[in-house]
Structure 1
Amino acid sequence: MRKSFALHTEPHVADIGGTELLFQPEVMGDEFMDAYAELRDAQKAEGVDLDNLGDADPSDIRKSARALRVFLARQMLPESAEQFLRLDVVKGSKVLKCFQDLDEAETYAAKQNGARIVDVLRLPTRVLVELLEWVVELYGGGGDARPTTSSSGSSTASRTAGSRLTGPSPSKASTRTRGR
């Protein structure tokens, strides 16, 4: 018996209001799981209760959102990841300096009187969450994660309805008792 497996070769595209972010065609399972574990650990470390954001420290929320962005960026092609992670330190309407790392941006901004940090690609939290769900589905093996192929490369059709078994049902076989 022979079974063929197709691999994605074209990047996945997330179109967000006309901005396209390109994601890797394939991500190795261990790399994906390592990145996902780091995201979960970062969320726990910040101690942000997503059900009670009113009591959370704003800097902890920012760090938690940043961990989500870092996770997503690890699945992207380099140019998209750079755009997605870019932080500008601004004063008024002037960009003072650009960063990829939040800690570095915070350190720099603290030295600039009246400066603040902004994500260059500003996105609502719901979009970040939708991206997370999509990426987990793509690379975590859920849903429509299979690459599309021509009909000749498709897997064989599913069995038709009905049973092909000829013996007793597994449930009957496993519950039989001696002497009955």
Structure 2
Amino acid sequence: MRKSFALNTEPHVADIAGTELFFQPEVMGDDFLDAYVELRDGQKAKGIDLANLAEADPADVRKTTRALRLFLARQMLAESAELFLRLDVVKDGEALETFDDLDEAEAYAAKHQGARVVDALRLPTRVTVELLEWVVELYGGGGDRPTGSSSASATASRQAGKRGTGVSPSRVSTRTPGR
């Protein structure tokens, strides 16, 4: 008996309001798990309960958010990771300097009264969390797997051409007991 397995060769793309972030086609299991364990252990070490951020120290929350970005960037292609990790020190709406290290950016901002550190690619927290969930699904065993010779592959898409005139089963009204 012979079984063939396909590997993804094209990067996964996260399109965020027109900005595309490219993720590695495949990530080796141990690399992914090592990065995930680092993220989880870092969060636990800081004692941050993500379900109750109101009581957390804002500096710790910022570092946890940064750790999440670092984890996600480890799964990205280099150019996307660079954009995703870039930090700007901003004062009066103008970027003074750009960094990739949070501690360096914060030290620079501290020297310039009124300056603050912001992510170059600013995202709502919910989007960052959705990216995390998507990446865990991609590389952690679920999600979009490549199609090919594997017996678990999805069925082929319909061929292009004239659509049938039959009613889709999803549009047919069926009686359900108790309704």
**TM-score clears 0.5:** yes
Shift of 1:104: 1.1
Query: Could you tell me which amino acid in structure 2 is paired with residue 77 of structure 1?
Result: L
Tell me the TM-score normalised to structure 1 length. 0.81
Instruction: Tell which deviates more after alignment, 42-51 or 121-130.
Output: 42-51
Report the Cα distance in structure 1 between the residues aligned to 2:31 and 2:152, rounded to whole angstroms. 30
The 5 Å alignment of 1:155-166 reads: 155=151
Structure with more contact order per residue of length (Cα contacts < 8 Å, sep ≥ 6)? 2
Structure-1 separation of matches of 2:152 and 2:123: 41
**CA-based RMSD:** 1.3
Local SS of the residue matching 2:95: strand
- Residues 8-41 of structure 1, C-alpha deviation per residue, up to 9 Å, x if partnerless? 0000000111110000000011100000011001
- Structure 1 distance, partners of 2:65, 2:152, is 43
1:90-109 to structure 2, matched below 5 A, reads: 90-109=90-109
Measure how far apart 1:125 and its partner are.
Answer: 1.0
Distance in 2 (CA, whole Å) between partners of 1:49 and 1:156 is: 38
Query: Which secondary structure state, in structure 1, belongs to the residue aligned with residue 118 of structure 2?
Result: strand
Return the alpha-carbon distance in structure 1 between the equivalents of residues 51 and 3 of structure 2: 46
Q: TM-score, normalised by structure 2?
A: 0.81
1:147 aligns with 2:146: yes
Q: Mind listing any 5+ residue stretches in structure 1 that lack a counterpart?
A: 158-180
State the 1:156 CA deviation.
6.3
Cross-structure match for 1:164: none
What residue number does 1:22 align with?
Answer: 22
Would you say how many aligned residue pairs link Structure 1 and Structure 2?
Answer: 153
1:113-132 alignment runs, 5 A limit: 113-132=113-132
Report the alpha carbon displacement of residue 56 of structure 1 after superposing the two structures with TM: 1.1
Cα distance in 2 between the residues matched to 1:122 and 1:58: 17
Aligned to 2:88: 88
How far the C-alpha of 1:148 sits from its partner, in A, is 2.6
**What are the Cα deviations for residues 64-101 of structure 1, in whole angstroms up to 9, with x where unaligned?**
11110000000000000000111000111221111111
Secondary structure class of the residue paired with 1:121: coil
Take 2:16 and 2:96, find their aligned partners in 1: how far apart are those partners?
27
Q: Which runs of 5+ in 2 are unaligned?
A: 154-179
Identity among equivalent pairs (%): 75
Q: Which amino acid aligns with 1:9?
A: T
- Once the two structures are superposed, residues 96-135 of structure 1 have per-residue CA deviations (whole angstroms, 9 ceiling, x without a partner) of 1111111111111111111100111111111111111110
Moved over 2 A (4+): none
- For the 8 Å contact 1:46–1:63, the answer to whether it is kept is no
Q: Rg: which structure is higher?
A: 1
Distance in 1 (CA, whole Å) between partners of 2:98 and 2:104 is 10
